[in-house]
Amino acid sequence: MSNHETSETKPEVITLFGATGDLAKRMVLPAFWELHTRGLLPSDWRLIGNGRGQVSDADFREQVKESLAEFGPGEVPTNQWGEFASRLSFAGGGFSVDDPGELPAALAEASAELGEEVQRIFYIALPPVAFEPTVKALGAHDLMQSARVIFEKPYGTSLQSFCALDELVHSVLEEEQIYRIDHFLGKEAVQNLHVLRFVNRMIGSIWSCAAIEQVQIDVPETLGVADRAAFYDATGAFRDMIATHLFQVAAEVAMEPPLSLGTEDLQRARDQVLARFRPLDPGEVVFGQFDGYRELPEVADDSTTDTFAAVRLWIDSDRWRGVPFLLRSGKRLHRSRQLLSLVLRAAQGPFPEARRSVLQLSMSGAGELSASLTMKKPGPELELVTVPIELDVTALGGPSDESLPPYASLLHDVIVGDRSLFTTGAGLEHAWSVAQPVLDDPPEPLPYAPQSWGPKAADELTDGVGWFTQA
């Protein structure tokens, strides 16, 4: 959660494992380019791509440029590209305990160019199955001294696999060296939750079960699984979105006020509320699978993978006693949104017919804040009308110019050593403990038509309130 100003940092040597993979092309490399064009990288840095194949530096640079054209800003300005490209290189031959390939020599060469005080960052943009051998190889080749290591999610796929992975990682690294990235925590709007709640007393005063009836965190997607079918069929919507991203967003919403927004205080507040998440009841979980999913290449004809998941989560704290947190996400749905809705309790007294008010925060882009209020309609009769009030955050001084995309924001935090928006081992252990009952006894996925809102059974989780994304 650094302030995005250029920081005086050590020269950086960044190794990107999986540099020619889909994640690197779509997210990681455009994020580095964003930081470069903003002047937010150290004055001296190198980025070394790593992979099994042999790729020349020139070819790797061309691949990066193509990635930026497709997933980044589009056409890359020549006057900015030259300096950026000159810092890119590729070390092939793979990387394992038995054979480190070209990477150690490339690291030594880059370090010699930049001087003795070099900060090493290793970004593991690989499938989770590759985390273990990569960590073992980093330890075996003695590359972990003062290094920072970024792990993509999912960090484990169950409580048991998480514990095994975390034990291995801590045998090689100190906790302070570990950056478990969850790009939802890097979203401008999610970070703005802290300011919205802790600075604005008008909002903070209603942030509890006294005023809030339920919390909805809803991330429907119109997209399918495209070329991620093999990964997705082994993961599913529940693991891919609910047990990872949306649990973390729920913790941001539900945490008690931290003593400060420093790393230790913020992580402690997040972990403490995660520890109060009640293990999920499979009877309060709905899975779905869109029609036609099994016909996709790399998907088994009898696949039971969930492409839709909705859960009702309870938090055993005084602040949230009795308030359901409803989390939903899925593929091939009617509309794409990333929406947090705080549903306020129905009016008491002389206006029982008044609709519930709702405070909503969009988690996409810079974020938009909206609220629905009930007012008297002008005229001689006492007629109530719901009035929407919207605040476009892009009007607050140009965040389109100032804010960073989530991956760029979090990469910048790694560079300056700010771990406040990264998950801890303790927090993730709590999260997997909450998810494990569903992993042990998953509900049968219900079929749903593409471009629908998913299985109707998910509506029952809202106790008649309905999903506000569909309103």
Is 251 annotated as belonging to a binding site? no
| Rounded-to-10 torsion of CA 405, 226, 244, 338 | 50
Q: Phi, psi (5° rounding) for residue 66?
A: -65, -40
Is 19 annotated as belonging to a binding site? yes
Provide the β-strand partners of residue 343: 214, 358
Q: What is the 3-state secondary structure (H, E, C) of the chain?
A: CCCCCCCCCCCEEEEEECCCCHHHHHHHHHHHHHHHHHCCCCCCEEEEEECCCCCCHHHHHHHHHHHHHHHCCCCCCHHHHHHHHCCEEEECCCCCCCCCCCHHHHHHHHHHHHCCCCEEEEEECCCHHHHHHHHHHHHHCCCCCCCEEEECCCCCCCHHHHHHHHHHHHHHCCHHHEEECCHHHHCHHHHHHHHHHHHCHHHHCCCCCCCEEEEEEEEECCCCCHHHHHHHHCCHHHHHHHHHHHHHHHHHHHCCCCCCCCHHHHHHHHHHHHCCECCCCHHHEEEEEECCHHHCCCCCCCCCCCCEEEEEECECCCCCCCCCEEEEEECCECCCCCEEEEEECCCCCCCCCCCCCEEEEECCCCCEEEEEEEEECCCCCCCEEEEEEEEEHHHCCCHHHHCCCHHHHHHHHHHHCCCCCCECHHHHHHHHHHHHHHHHCCCCCEEECCCECCCHHHHHHHCCCCCHHHC
Is 194 annotated as belonging to a binding site? no
Is 10 annotated as belonging to a binding site? no
Q: What is the CA radius of gyration of the chain?
A: 23
Is 240 annotated as belonging to a binding site? yes
**Planar angle of CA 444, 449, 453, nearest 5 degrees:** 85
Is 394 annotated as belonging to a binding site? no
Is 52 annotated as belonging to a binding site? yes
Q: 42 vs 8, 12, 421, CA distance in Å?
A: 7, 7, 21
Say which of 245, 334, 412, 430 is annotated catalytic: 245
Is 183 annotated as belonging to a binding site? yes
Is 330 annotated as belonging to a binding site? no
Tokens of 36: 């470069």
Tokens of 353: 């017919």
Is 376 annotated as belonging to a binding site? no
Is 369 annotated as belonging to a binding site? no
User: Is 36 among the catalytic positions?
Assistant: no
Give yes or no for a contact between 224 and 355, defined as CB atoms under 8 angstroms apart.
no
Is 25 annotated as belonging to a binding site? yes
Is 21 annotated as belonging to a binding site? yes
Query: Per the annotation, where are the binding residues?
Result: 18-25, 52, 153, 183, 187, 221, 240, 331
Query: Per the annotation, where are the binding residues for NADP(+)?
Result: 18-25, 52, 153
Query: Per the annotation, where are the binding residues for substrate?
Result: 183, 187, 221, 240, 331
Catalytic sites, residue numbers: 245
